[in-house]
Amino acid sequence: MSLANGRTYLAIPGPSVMPERVLRAMMRSAPNIYTGEMVDMTHGLVPDLKTIAGTSQNLAMYITNGHGLWEASLSNVISRGDRVLSLVTGNFGSGWAGVARALGAQVAELDFGNRAALEVAQVINALKLDSHHTIKAVTCVHVDTATSVRNDIKALGAAMRDLGHPALLMVDCIASLGCDEFRFDDWNVDVMIAASQKGLMTPPGMGFIWFSDRALEAGKAADLRTPYWDWTGRATPAQLYEYFDGTAPTHHLYALRAAVDMILEEGLEAVWARHATLASAYHAAFAAWGCTELNIADPAARSNAVTTLRMTAPDATRLREWMEQEAGVTLGISLGLVDPASPEWHGFFRVGHMGHLNAHMVLGNIASLEAAFEALGIARGAGALEAATKVIAAGA
């Protein structure tokens, strides 16, 4: 007998829960990709995706995941041998730096560790030392899905603008778009990437690059651009075929249209507020338990899309297994914090709270975690569910 029978809940930090409306949108026959509804719908998605990113500039769409976007974004703006400054606050910041290095860039990493946000002053000091402006790009992650840290891109963009260094500011928003506030134009961002499977509530497989006119101009001299990754034709397509350099991902586009409609109908600022409230409810519960230590101590640097937790090993693995087998809830594993072969790896887990999420999903998961602690005999503090309900009641 298992109590997990019934509707399961994928509470990992992506792929996120797909709404029924999105799933229904995909359930149709293959469309005409040359004229008609599919073409019109794709043209209509472009301004709406720009609205979600907070920009009026340029957008290119790809059939790829986030790792492909790292390569696509860099190949459009740098040449072999160019200098790149990579700001690392976790597994995904170092991953993007690795791609830049593999493409032939000279990469310098500023590593801020796995438990804190980047320090803008250190970044500016590094750029000040580059008096000849040889650094072509600064890469960073808005929310690192592994550590759950959220970096202050607004402050970084303002500081780089005030310094006057010409390096492009490139930001990975794969975990944060549609969950945490982000304003491309207002925050002086030049390149931003995001994928379909997290805050955009669409199956994995589509990627997006928003880029400024300044990035477009700077990239004209880039010698790493290849035909498939080239964003030029994708940003100004004459026909649907050119958006994707080949056949369009038709059913992903139907799903994306439904998801984007849901975001815009709710209102982008309301979406951000919902995520902030529900994330805070989780944080309140984790603090009350005490046995689950939030990886990011500073509340201002915590993501509203994902939370990484530390606890005594192997209790995190025991917890994940019990939750999946007995409660029907799948929690996320640790990524990049410790060696998976190490016993310490079993002391980390992650909870995704992004996209299609509401109060009863969060409260139900917290109650299920409480049951797991009880069943496994894991000592913890009292009042977690009460703390979370107070946050949600106040937020409502």
Three-class secondary structure of residue 265 per DSSP: helix
Close Cβ partners of 107 (under 8 Å, ≥ 6 residues apart): 83, 84, 85, 86, 97, 100, 101
CA-closest candidate to residue 185, choices 199, 202, 206, 171:
171
Q: Are 59 and 49 in contact (CB under 8 A)?
A: yes
What distance in Å separates the CA atoms of residue 144 and residue 308, rounded to the nearest whole number?
Answer: 10
In order, the DSSP letters of 308-364 are EEE-STTHHHHHHHHIIIII-EEEBPP-SSS-TTSGGGGGEEEEE--SS--HHHHHH
SS3 168: strand
**CA 391 vs CA 55, 263, 302, 381: distances in Å:** 32, 23, 16, 18
Question: Annotation-wise, does 24 bind a ligand?
Answer: no
Distance CA 14, CA 151 (A): 19
Sign of the torsion angle spanned by Cα atoms 351, 175, 146, 12: positive
Binding positions are: 350
Binding positions for substrate are: 350
